[in-house]
Amino acid sequence: MAPMDRCLASMARLSLAHPARPTLSAASRCLAPGLLQTQKQTYASVVRIRTKAKKKKVVPKDFKRHRLDKTEFPQFSLVEAMRVLRAYEVGKPPGGVKYELSVNLKTFRNGPVIKSSIRLPNPVQSDWQIAVICPEGSAIANDAINAGAKAVGESTLFEAIKNETIEFDRLICHESSEKALQQANLGRILGPKGLMPNKKMGTIVTDVVRSIRDSAGAADYRERMGVIRMAIGQLGHTPVQLRANIEAVMKKIKTQCAELSEDVPKDVHEVILSTTNGPGLSLNGKLKNLEDKTAPEAVSGQM
């Protein structure tokens, strides 16, 4: 009986012991599909897709300008350009139509910009509304009012500008009120409108009366993205009057370009004339070509 007891005891110990986990080789593929799937997910390889780095676009140092001798668009004389542009303005109110000049420059993108003010021989706008920043109740304020200023003063004028209760086309500041102007913090209001006085534009002055007289017919211009745009004449101007205005502006712009150093070259590339509702026409620098059939008198005066 002893051998039998030892055999039963050995079988009991085997039954109480933890059963060994079946391996994949021992398990049937039909009985353990989940185990096969688990192993495939555990040992799956990761595929990485390499993308090519995008090349940065190279920005040229200067503004691209087309060659005028290779372009398909013709250049016009001043008389012929005025004839075409006036045809686009038929039926438009004369007071809301002006000739506009665009001067394309050969210049660097990060170079200095040209800005100034010029008194045109034939003013575009004659009814200028001028405000003057100067000490209130002073002799300067009285002289400015007698010269035709619409409003004068410091604190009262600053308050009217902040509340937008006053309209003016030009703002002049006397040098004695420059500090008060800086403390008023009007740059965010006047800056976007191009009305903030500064010495470079000649609007912070010592002689207010002379500046008011010079401002009658004055026009401001500033280079933006290599182009200078400004109103150059009224629709009623004759070709001779419009040519005088264009020549005065071009002479001053070329003088400013020549004053720059050789390291930052700047030159006039093309002059384009347009109107408020008309297209832009490239000018060839002549008043009238030999083949032009339009007389200067035909494009003069209001329509």
Q: What per-residue string of b and e applies to 48-82 under the rule 16 or more CB within 10 Å gives b?
A: eeeeeeeeeeeeeeeeeeeeeeeeeeebbbbbbbb
Q: What is the pLDDT of residue 28?
A: 52
The H or E element that residue 101 is part of is strand 98-106
Q: What is the pLDDT of residue 236?
A: 84
The rounded distance, in Å, linking the Cα atoms of 154 and 160 is: 10
The rounded distance, in Å, linking the Cα atoms of 155 and 263 is: 45
β 151-153/130-133 pair status? parallel
Q: What is the pLDDT of residue 270?
A: 92
Beta bridge partners of 283: 76
Closest CA relative to residue 235, chosen from 173, 160, 299: 299
Length of the chain: 303
Q: Which CATH superfamily is domain 127-216 in?
A: Ribosomal protein L1/L10, domain II (3.40.50.790)
The rounded distance, in Å, linking the Cα atoms of 192 and 261 is: 29
For residues 260, 261, 263, 265, the Cα torsion angle rounded to the nearest 10 degrees is: 40
Matching residue, tokens 């384009």: 272
**What are the distances in angstroms from CA 272 to CA 19, 73, 81, 227, 253?**
96, 12, 10, 10, 15
The rounded distance, in Å, linking the Cα atoms of 263 and 236 is: 43
In this structure, what token pair is assigned to residue 92?
């438009």
Q: What is the pLDDT of residue 190?
A: 87
Q: Which CATH number fits domain 67-126+219-303: 3.30.70.3040, 1.20.1730.10, 3.30.190.20, 3.40.50.10790?
A: 3.30.190.20
Tell me how crowded residue 255 is: count the other CB atoms within 10 A of its CB: 10
**Residues 273, 78: contact at Cβ < 8 Å?**
yes
Q: What is the pLDDT of residue 41?
A: 53
For 168-232, give the DSSP string.
Answer: -SEEEEEGGGHHHHHHHT-HHHHTTTT----TTTT-EES-HHHHHHHHTTEEEEEEETTEEEEEE
Beta bridge partners of 172: 132
Q: What is the pLDDT of residue 32?
A: 54
Q: What is the pLDDT of residue 292?
A: 80
Spell out the domain ranges in the chain: 67-126+219-303, 127-216
Q: What is the pLDDT of residue 78?
A: 94
Q: Do domains 67-126+219-303 and 127-216 have the same CATH topology?
A: no
Rg of the chain, C-alpha, whole Å: 40
Per-residue pLDDT of the chain (303 residues; tens, 9 = 90+): 556 666 666 666 655 555 555 555 554 555 555 555 555 455 556 667 777 777 777 777 888 888 777 777 789 999 999 999 999 988 887 667 889 999 999 998 888 888 888 888 888 865 678 889 998 888 898 888 888 888 888 988 898 888 888 778 788 899 998 888 888 888 888 888 878 888 877 888 888 888 887 776 678 889 999 999 999 988 888 999 999 999 999 999 999 998 887 778 889 999 999 998 899 999 998 988 877 878 887 887 766
